[in-house]
Structure 1
Amino acid sequence: MSSFESYHKEHPIPIKSTTSWKYISLITITIIYGTTLLLFQVNSLYINHKQVRLQNINNYQSNNDLINDCHENLFLEPSNENGKIPLTFQAVRNGTFYPNIKDIQWIQTPNSLTDDSGDYIVVDDDSNYYLKSLQNDTSSTILYDLGDSINYENKSYLVESITFSNDLKIALLTCNKVHNWRHSYFASYFIYNVETKEIQPLIFNSIDDNSKIALAIISPDSQKISYVIDNNVYINDISDFNNAITKQITSDGSSEIFNGKPDWVYEEEVFEGDSALWWSPDSNHLLILRSNDTEVPTFPIPYFVQEDANNRSSYPIVEEIKYPKAGFSNPIVDIVIYDTKNEVLKSLSSEDPFYNDKDIDNYNKLITEVIWVGNQQVLVRVTNRESDILKIFIVSCPSDTLEINSIVSRFEDGRNDKSWFEITHNTIFIPKSEKRQYNGYIDMIDVNGYDHLAYFSPPASSEPKVILTSGDWEVVNGAAAYDFVTDEVYYVSTEKSSIERHIYSVNLDGSNKKNITDVELEAWYDISFSKGARYLLLSYMGPDVPNQRLLDLHENSSYEFSSNDDLQNTLDTYDIPQNNYGNITLDDDLIVNYKETLPLNFDPSKKYPLLFFVYGGPGSQLISKSFAISFSSIIAAELNAVVVTVDGRGTGFRGKKFRNIVRDNLGNHEVLDQVAAAKYWINNKGYIDPERTAIWGWSYGGYMTLKTLEYDQGKTFKYGMSVAPVTDWKLYDSVYTERYMHTPEQNFEGYNGSRVHNFENFKGVKRFLLMHGTGDDNVHFQNSMQFIDSLDLNGVENYDMYVFPDSDHSIRWHNAGTIVYDRLFVWLKRAFDGEFDNIYSFNSLKKNMNEIDEEFFINLYG
């Protein structure tokens, strides 16, 4: 359930090959709502339906019958009164509305800091990689033109991503990925010589071992590649391409000890990625995170359908994950630094402050961010396991000694105001200059309850030198870039609106704040800065059709990069549901944002079904003015329903007072806000049918769905659809859960109240749907099994359940990515058609299971 954050700022960004990009796009399109946090509605969900015309069904039929009935009309595309084609499932699933958004890899040259050339790499439709420069727009050099696959020793390898070194002499080819967890995979890595076009495996003496590499990173000086295999770190010196020298750095890696590679909980909740290695800017040091998972309990996950359908094992495959649940032992984390000049692995002494902190003990510390703040100093951000104590350590590792040491530079305490410190990876290094004697960094701090930027210099400073931003709005994802030449800091903020994203700059002394984008325009922007921050790839992501421009911020000029004119022309031929954005005032003058999607040919004098789409996790945000033809759009168009999303209390980008109210009590205020908002629509809008109301969500949204139904008891929401829900926070991982709930020992009442526990209340709901993948490594299937068992014990039968064999949290194994939305769509169609109103229920015949004789049975043979 981790939030979506930008990862590596100091390492090159991998560029997808065309084949890989198309493949990833299709996968993303089918599963996008299944990602752990489900933090926002994205461009599209591709579901296998067209215009569906189902006659009223008086008798209960199976889902399969209905799905087949839907697909009989799959190729119908009727035009409406204005001559446009109504939006359909099939059109969305086919990628009809998917915008073309290009990625580029900016290249860092020795002069990028003071003379930014704007060099970047972009891939064309034929999988050719071109080097271009914004200082010379006529320059274009092919760096790689071998296509989607390579051959080595008579075997073909699919090239899935390519990362170029900063000197552009070599490229790292990632091939034949094998999925591990959300971000991680194993792959075959090959080194490509750009000049000679030679290829050799990263592990050149074993092609078998080469296919098991878990991670590989090119050093900033382009002379070395660090990689991880079997949880040990290695470095290849590639200064001589044909005679690479390998050095093993760690040797204790195992299923219990992780070096340079995060374990499950650090991958999912802390780094939100698969790397725990950090090169110093001069490449003379490599910091390695070491995780000891010896005391972390294992969780078994059985896999039933991994093999071919015609050749399956009689026994399932059981995989055991080191997974710390709330209240259980976390991995014990530590840092070591490899000195490449002296070829020695350096460690802090046992007397160092890092190991002897009075507030955060070694068994419960979380290392949440690592960033080099110079060639010989590294910032290490540490919190306690409950994430309400923060300390910044500055670790010094001079090259002229074999010793390293640390000091505590900052200490922040969130315990008194029931706050917590979110995990971020947004700190940026500010080098010293003729005007500044010391190095420094820019970090996020709390300014009157809002997240803002502060400049610290020197790095060991306990207080900021300058607070760069302030106001009743928030900076998003920290500082985006720093221009050494102009002394400007660039950032994205919510200053105009919490549901928009605009770009601003401010000088390093806090003066001369400027708008980079037109704040008069409703917009949501994504950004990618060149290494010297002179150039910007500015991606307009909505609410209208996305486009991209390259900006020269020194010359105040811009160039078109992608336009999506074809998509705009396509949209002109379709009738798309209208999205309305705004805010409403609930009880106690609480103002919340909403997005409302209306049916085609909307008539306010009619009565429509109402569907609430919810996530609601702490710090999350679903409502954004970004372009999206989403599942909500499909439901509005195909089922003629009003779809509403409300970001209630606990969600992000509205300040800590709005967010922190959920501390130690998840599933309370968030639920009250969903019910109050639904009542507002029912009582004030005039076009809602109060008997056809539903709520649905995935992951935390699945949890919110169940908690809302539990609280509401069918009075406001008659139906619900819950996908992959947490049902008891004691079953979820420690790092996420304890950040918001503390430990079960510290907060027994909170955990008890936050779990789904009033099972009798579900009898008031007309009907609800539960869906889960049995191979979910994130929200374990155990959650749904314990919930179902409690429903059985309480005689609750007004629900349906669908299980997806071996699917993880995204639900996509063996065609599940299509089926999950087929099931959601058809089930909701039945609900809104009133089909569930006539299903016979035993709930009215017995108040609880205690009234049933334990010896009662039915004779099956009489």
Structure 2
Amino acid sequence: MHSKEYMPLPGSQNTSFSWRYISLVSIVLVYGTSLLLSQVNSLYVNHKQLGLQRQLDYHPADKEIQGLAFDADAKAKRPLTFKDVRNGTFYAESKEIQWIQTPESLTNDSGDYIVVERGNYYLRSLQDSAKKTVLYDLGSSIEYQNKTYAVESVTFSNDLKIALLTCNKRHNWRHSFFAAYFAYNVETKDIQPIIASSTEENSKIALSVISPDSSKIAYVLNNNVYVNDVSDFFSPASRQITFDGGDQIFNGKPDWVYEEEVFESDRALWWSPDSSHLVILRSNDTEVPTFPIPYFVQNSPGNSSSYPTLESIKYPKAGFANPIVDILIYDLSNDTLKQLPASDPFYNDEEINNTDRLITEVTWVGNEQVLVRVTNRESDILKIFIVSCPLSDSEMSSIVSRFEDGRDDKSWFEISHNTIHIPKSEKRPLEGYIDMMAVDGYEHLAYFSPPNASEPKAYLTKGEWEVVDGAAAYDFVSDKVYFVSTEKSSIERHVYSVDLEGASKENLTDVSKDGWFDVSFSKGARYLLLSYQGPDVPYQKLLDLHKGSSEDFSVNTDLQKTLDEYSLPEVKFGNITLDEGLTVNYKETLPLNFDPQKKYPLLFFVYGGPGSQLVQKPFSISFSSVIAAELDAVVVTVDGRGTGFKGKKFRNIVRDNLGYYEVLDQVTAAKHWISLGYVDSERTAIWGWSYGGYMTLKTLEHDQGEVFKYGMSVAPVTDWKLYDSVYTERYMHTPQQNPTGYKNCRVGEAEGFKNAKRFLLMHGTGDDNVHFQNSMQFIDSLDVAGVENYDMYVFPDSDHSIRWHNAGMVVYDRLFTWLKRAFDGEFEDVYSLNAVKPNGHMDDRFFIDLYG
């Protein structure tokens, strides 16, 4: 569960700008997350003054109100339907590119990139607009030894001589998969499997990465690392680097918890910039407990086996042993695998012991130094180690360059992977890097040089706003650092630049208009793929930042025409003041032809995990839009305390006590909406997925039917002792350290649900993230207490995203129809039998023989 982890509605849109070639943007979960918020984003256009005045008439407490103006011709347009969203009617087109790094990129950025057009891969250049070279045109499948392989992605080397073809993927966990990998010769169009000796083994590769100099391919098989020298394409030389990989030891590939919560990817190896070294993360999971997951329907209906398939994963729950992690460095020139000596400070730290250490980031800061970010298991102590790995055959060593302590202010260090290397130059004779640091309680950029410096050479940004995801890029020629921040608004994202002294800050995007921008910089940061994601219709532009020129890259003219044909719910953003002067952001989606004199059902959509954010301004026609349009309901999202991008004070209050302040804020906000006069106080509901599912149940438990009458909880955590250690302990410490907090945060008061009119619980049995165990233990507590005012829907073998065997469609159908029944009053008089004794056992007098 990430802080950016949310479940989007199939068919709704969000754009991710990492390099993927074949597939469209996939549906993603959490912060956290990630990041993929299509079900909470809505269409937004700058309002006219008339619309603003009308909003103020019935929302006098609001500040910063923005929304769609009322449309006088709305009746002549098509009303939005669930089918419209599902069939991709409102799909916003975007293109994805792979920037190519050349030896001259640092000082003479050519802006070379690869783009997919009609299934072919073309090399283009922003310095030469006429350049268009076909690099791959074999289509979506290849033939090798009389077998057809589906090509699912293509990744090119920097010298453009070879490409990696990823074929026949088999899903593992959220980010990881197994696949058959082939090397493709761009010039001759020949294909070679990465493992030429065995097509069976070649299909089991877990990861494959090309070196920066294009001469090597590192890959992971059976949790061991191998390196192929492909400088001679037709006679590649292979070397096995590690030999102890297996069920307990992971080399170069993260185990479950590191994939999910730390690296948020399937990669745990890193090439040095000059390709002379390879850092490998080694995880020893011997002491990590194993969690079993049974799978019942892996085949088509009627063809499943008589006995379920049992899969076991190494899954450390809160308070249990974590993997013991270490770094190894392979020296290619000397063919040696190095490890820090036992006497090194890395293994002898006073605050962070070897068994509890978390390695959360590995970044090369030059060709001979590696920055290793380390925290304790509770994530409130941070240390930066600089590891020296000289090109000679001498021993590795490390020093602690920085030590930060969050224990005194009940803070924690979120996991990030955004540190960027600043190379030395004539003006700066030493290497350096840019990292994120808290400045007066807000996340900002700091420049460190040399890398072993304990204090920043300069703070690049400051203010009561936050930089998002660290520095985006550094231009060596202009000496500019580019970043995305919330300076204009915590619910917007704009692009800025600043120099390495923290001066000359400039806007790249127009902050006079609402905007949510994403960026993808060329390897020398002269060129930028700027993606405007909302609130209006998305578009993309390619910018030359040195010349100040731009050109369209993708437009959505057809989407704009489609939008003009529909009557869409009005969407408003703003903030309200809750108890004790607390100001929170909200998003409100109103029914079609909204009349403030009427009474409407109210649905709160919630996530609420630490550091997360749902109230944002990208374009989307979402599930909230569907509910507002088809069920004639008001849909509200409020980011209460604990959520992100409003500073540490706002965030840190939830430390050691999840589900308390967040719940109070949802209830108080709902009371505010009820007080506005257009909400039917007997038709109020709350729903969420993952952490949002937890928040739904915790809110119903606390509220006891006073404000929220209904709830829909999908894949919820119900007891934080059942969730993974890395995420949970970051916010709660361990159960041994904080037993009272874990008791209070558990969804454990079944009696609190009796006064709700009804609630729905949904979960996938194959959920490797939030285990089905959570819902089963919760259901048992309801049974013991005699609570029967709920419905349960189980999705066989579905994981946390609930998509197995058409479940991705069914889950939203169930949510939609269940909520319609609730708002239509079908659950008002549902009979509930409460004949269970407090000890949870039926007395013989209550036994009824129903046979016959």
Q: TM-score, normalising length from structure 1? A: 0.92
**Number of the residue aligned with 1:520:** 512
The answer to whether the 8 A contact 1:593-1:623 is kept is yes
**Number of the residue aligned with 1:2:** 2
The one of 370, 382, 394 aligned to 2:386: 394
Deviations 1:733-769 (A, max 9, x none): 0000000000000000000000001110100100000
Deviations 1:474-515 (A, max 9, x none): 000000000000110000000000000000000011111111
Classify the secondary structure of the residue corresponding to 1:541: strand
**Number of the residue aligned with 1:58:** none
The CA deviation at 1:138 is 1.3
The CA deviation at 1:437 is 1.1
**Number of the residue aligned with 1:71:** none
Asked whether 1:426 is paired with 2:418, we answer yes
**Number of the residue aligned with 1:16:** 20
Amino acid at match of 1:16: R
Deviations 1:610-638 (A, max 9, x none): 00000000000001110011100000011
Asked whether 1:531 is paired with 2:535, we answer no
Output the CA distance in 1 between the equivalents of 2:304 and 2:218.
38
Amino acid at match of 1:457: S
Amino acid at match of 2:757: K
Residues 197 and 44 of structure 1: CA distance in aligned 2, closer, same or farther (over 3 Å)? farther
Output the CA distance in 2 between the equivalents of 1:35 and 1:112.
32
**Number of the residue aligned with 1:96:** 89
Residues 34 and 518 of structure 1: CA distance in aligned 2, closer, same or farther (over 3 Å)? closer
Residues 144 and 852 of structure 1: CA distance in aligned 2, closer, same or farther (over 3 Å)? closer
Asked whether 1:184 is paired with 2:188, we answer no
**Number of the residue aligned with 2:65:** none
Residues 457 and 15 of structure 1: CA distance in aligned 2, closer, same or farther (over 3 Å)? closer
The CA deviation at 1:41 is 3.1
Residues 824 and 654 of structure 1: CA distance in aligned 2, closer, same or farther (over 3 Å)? same
The one of 734, 737, 746 aligned to 1:743: 734
The one of 102, 105, 112 aligned to 1:109: 102
Classify the secondary structure of the residue corresponding to 1:241: coil
Deviations 1:654-695 (A, max 9, x none): 000000000000000000000000000001x21100000000
Classify the secondary structure of the residue corresponding to 2:430: coil
Q: How does 1:289-368 map to 2 (within 5 A)?
A: 289-368=281-360
Q: How does 1:450-529 map to 2 (within 5 A)?
A: 450-529=442-521
**Number of the residue aligned with 1:662:** 654
**Number of the residue aligned with 1:788:** 779
The CA deviation at 1:35 is 10
Deviations 1:211-255 (A, max 9, x none): 000000000000000000000000000000000000000000010
Q: TM-score, normalising length from structure 2? A: 0.94
**Number of the residue aligned with 2:744:** 753
Output the CA distance in 1 between the equivalents of 2:787 and 2:28.
32
The CA deviation at 1:860 is 2.1
Classify the secondary structure of the residue corresponding to 1:764: coil
Residues 33 and 356 of structure 1: CA distance in aligned 2, closer, same or farther (over 3 Å)? closer
Amino acid at match of 1:259: N
Deviations 1:391-447 (A, max 9, x none): 000000001133101000000000000000000000000000000110000000010
**Number of the residue aligned with 1:441:** 433
Output the CA distance in 1 between the equivalents of 2:771 and 2:512.
46
Consecutive unaligned residues of structure 1, counting only runs of 5 or more, are 6-12, 47-78
Output the CA distance in 2 between the equivalents of 1:670 and 1:510.
36
The CA deviation at 1:705 is 0.1
The answer to whether the 8 A contact 2:475-2:525 is kept is yes
Output the CA distance in 1 between the equivalents of 2:272 and 2:601.
57
Q: How does 1:3-82 map to 2 (within 5 A)?
A: 3-4=3-4, 15-17=19-21, 20-21=22-23, 24-25=24-25, 28=26, 31-32=27-28, 37=33, 41-42=37-38, 82=75
Output the CA distance in 1 between the equivalents of 2:29 and 2:86.
14
The CA deviation at 1:308 is 3.1
Residues 220 and 33 of structure 1: CA distance in aligned 2, closer, same or farther (over 3 Å)? closer
Residues 257 and 103 of structure 1: CA distance in aligned 2, closer, same or farther (over 3 Å)? same
The answer to whether the 8 A contact 1:703-1:722 is kept is yes
**Number of the residue aligned with 1:561:** 553
Output the CA distance in 2 between the equivalents of 1:226 and 1:754.
44
Amino acid at match of 1:148: S
The CA deviation at 1:311 is 2.4
Amino acid at match of 1:41: L
Asked whether 1:860 is paired with 2:850, we answer yes
The CA deviation at 1:171 is 0.5
Residues 850 and 457 of structure 1: CA distance in aligned 2, closer, same or farther (over 3 Å)? closer
Structural RMSD (CA):
1.7
Asked whether 1:832 is paired with 2:828, we answer no
Residues 552 and 472 of structure 1: CA distance in aligned 2, closer, same or farther (over 3 Å)? same
Output the CA distance in 2 between the equivalents of 1:190 and 1:413.
47
Classify the secondary structure of the residue corresponding to 1:319: strand
Output the CA distance in 2 between the equivalents of 1:15 and 1:278.
17
The CA deviation at 1:846 is 7.2
Amino acid at match of 1:509: E
Residues 808 and 119 of structure 1: CA distance in aligned 2, closer, same or farther (over 3 Å)? same
Classify the secondary structure of the residue corresponding to 1:403: coil
Percent of paired sites with the same residue: 72
Q: How does 1:814-833 map to 2 (within 5 A)?
A: 814-833=805-824
Moved more, 88-97 or 492-501: 88-97
Classify the secondary structure of the residue corresponding to 2:827: helix
The one of 584, 601, 624 aligned to 1:592: 584
The answer to whether the 8 A contact 1:38-1:615 is kept is no
Output the CA distance in 1 between the equivalents of 2:844 and 2:410.
47
